Structure 1
Amino acid sequence: MSAPSPGAPEAPGLTFLAELSVTVAEPIDVGPTPEGHRRVIPITGGTVSGPVLNGRVLPGGADYQLLRSATLTELDARYVLETDDGERIFVHNTALRHGSARDIELLNSGSAVDPSKIYFRCWPRLTTASPALDWLNTRLMLGTGERLPGRVVIRIFTVD
């Protein structure tokens, strides 16, 4: 990448919103389909912690995965957060996860892989009926992900 040219627009900043530690159950393997290999990963719970959002991940959601190749997985997770104040937030998190064929194979089998070897980026959409959290409905967010045995850690940032 080259340096921006003089007068180029400034890139928007990012502000840390929260870290989600999402616990997951064993994958449900659908198998090879015309679009790719499909898996469904049930979401069983978890925690939310950050400067303005704290609470838990409610059980009942899932991550609908599409293994596009031996090195690329598309993730489409949908679940609900509940804040410590009882407010509920719907999360629709779309992501890309890329790594070597061996590292992706290890991740998919539930083994630990050094996170620095995996490109895991997401663009979560958070929506809510809560008047106190209505600002979430009007913000774009980006995040990083890390797959660990039994859970996924997502760090969400708002785009300034």
Structure 2
Amino acid sequence: MADPHPFAPRFEHAFTISIDLSKPYWVEPSVRGETRAAIYAASGTVEGPRLNGRVIPMSGGDFPLQRPDGVIDFDARYLLEASDGAIIYLENRGYRWARGEKVGAAMRRNEAADFSDYYMRVTPKFDAPAGPHEWLSRHVFVGVAEKLPGANRIHYFVVV
């Protein structure tokens, strides 16, 4: 086996955000021929070795675009409140797609699916205040997400 590339990134788990979602509102079909939704962040928690707190209820949400090829293109923005009271803005962009039509149909019905049956990844950016949380605004992150009925759970890894 070849040695890893000397510039291969390393990842460290920073925290996990569990988000309870509102009911979706659909623009279906949009004038572009695709389906757009609005799904609001109803509540949630932030737990991990580098950040703890909560999702500020109804501070934003996801406005995903369902493409004709079955890929969901995420555009989510909402606020976090760290356990020390600091307010942090989060912007997530990413993709979700099912490995097979049966899984895709179940997910569209908001049913549980095994994590190995779909791809759901995000690339977040944070706007954090100066002080103990400014590290969020200085690093690149990758989020690996789980789709749960009525919720998402996203595990964030900082690239070190």
CA contact (8 A) 1:70 1:101 kept: no
Give the C-alpha shift of residue 121 in structure 1: 0.9
Instruction: Tell me by how many angstroms 1:70 deviates.
Output: 5.0
Q: Distance in 2 between the 1:101 and 1:19 partners? A: 29
Among 12, 17, 28, the residue aligned to 1:15:
12
Q: Cα offset for 1:25?
A: 1.0
Instruction: Give the alignment's TM-score, normalised by structure 2.
Output: 0.91
Deviations 1:33-84 (A, max 9, x none): 2162111111101000000200100112111111113531111110111011
Q: Give 1:31's aligned residue.
A: 28
Displacement of 1:101 after TM fit?
Answer: 2.8
Q: Which residue of 1 aligns with 2:126?
A: 126
Identity %: 32
Partners of 2:70 and 2:34 in 1: how far apart? Answer: 12
Question: 1:97 maps to which residue?
Answer: 96
Q: What is residue 45 of structure 1 aligned with on the other side?
A: 43
Structure 1: 5+ residue runs without aligned partners?
none
Whether the aligned pair in 2 keeps the contact of 1:87 and 1:130 (CA below 8 Å) is no
Task: For 2:15, give the aligned amino acid.
Answer: A
Q: Distance in 2 between matches of 1:159 and 1:145?
A: 16
Distance of 1:53 and 1:7 partners within structure 2: 30
What is aligned with 1:67?
Answer: 66
Equivalent residues of 1:70, 1:104 under 8 A apart: no
Please give the per-residue CA displacement for 1:136-159, whole angstroms capped at 9, x wherever unaligned. Answer: 111000010111012100000001
SS of the residue aligned with 1:32? coil
For 1:159, the aligned partner's letter is V
Runs of 5+ consecutive residues of structure 2 not aligned to the other structure: none
Greater displacement, 8-17 / 89-98: 8-17
Q: Give the alignment's Cα RMSD to 1 decimal.
A: 1.7
In the alignment, the residues of structure 2 paired with residue 117 and residue 47 of structure 1 have an alpha-carbon distance, to the nearest angstrom, of: 25
Deviating beyond 6 angstroms after TM superposition, the runs of 4 or more aligned structure 1 residues are none
Match of 2:56 among 58, 67, 77: 58
Structure 1 length-normalised TM: 0.91
Q: 2: distance between equivalents of 1:131 and 1:53?
A: 13
> Residues 120 and 144 of structure 1 are in contact (CA less than 8 Å); yes or no, is this contact kept in structure 2?
yes
Match of 2:85 in 1: 86
